[in-house]
Chains A and B, each alone.
Chain A
């Protein structure tokens, strides 16, 4: 079953509004979570690395004031797209680094199901 849950799966918002996407690790604590953006038929683009209790580290070219990331607890990180525009429409995926006890390396990264954002 899923070990990382994202919500919502789909969201449509009006241009100029803000939208929040949640990423939760299930049954394990994730000190580090990652947020990606994926364009159609392309690989994942890392946007930022989120560490619990500290400020997120953004990749070059990603506007930190536009994509607000909060990692307030060991099981929850949120991405808020502020003042969304149609060009922000994309598939956003979060992942969490953790150990779920199935024999994998302790730093294995598990992914959420993704969130489709459409800005109209």
Chain B
């Protein structure tokens, strides 16, 4: 079945870049997403990438996709304290498929 893995924790200093990694096993994934969850809140869609792309940039966010290695990463430039949250990657196969979530990475931003 599908499996999506993330490292559990990342700590960075304010102003540095953060890189959150994700690996998945389903080679038929067509859409990959990054969601942010702040404490006690729902998930906020940050960005997405199609499987036929290898990079997407959106302001401070850069998504890199290595389809051969089934590796997805999210880079946050100039990380701020407000970026502290749990970040989930997720993949889906198509218009009718459910999302499969990663385990989540807790990002801690220190001063």
Chain A residues within CB distance 8 Å of chain B: 4, 6, 32, 34, 42-44, 46, 49, 91, 93, 95, 104-114, 116
Contact = CB atoms under 8 A, between A and B. Distances in A.
A111 B43 contact: yes
Interface string B71-103: 000000000000000001000101111110111
B40 A116 contact: yes
B45 interface: yes
Which 3 A-B residue pairs are closest in the complex by CB-CB distance?
A: A111-B43, A113-B42, A111-B42
A112 B44 CA distance: 9
Contacts of B97: 107
B67 to A, nearest CB: 17
A66 to B, nearest CB: 21
B41 interface: yes
Interface of B: 31, 33, 35, 40-45, 48, 50, 88, 92, 94-99, 101-104
Given A105-B48, A107-B31, A46 B42 contact: no
A8 B94 CA distance: 31
A107 B44 contact: no
Contacts of A32: 96
Nearest to A59: B98
B31 A112 contact: no
A86 to B, nearest CB: 20
A91 B41 CA distance: 9
10 contacts: A43-B102, A46-B98, A93-B43, A105-B48, A107-B31, A107-B96, A107-B97, A109-B99, A111-B43, A111-B44
A34 B78 CA distance: 34
B102 A108 contact: no
Given A105-B48, A107-B92, A107-B94, A113 B101 contact: no
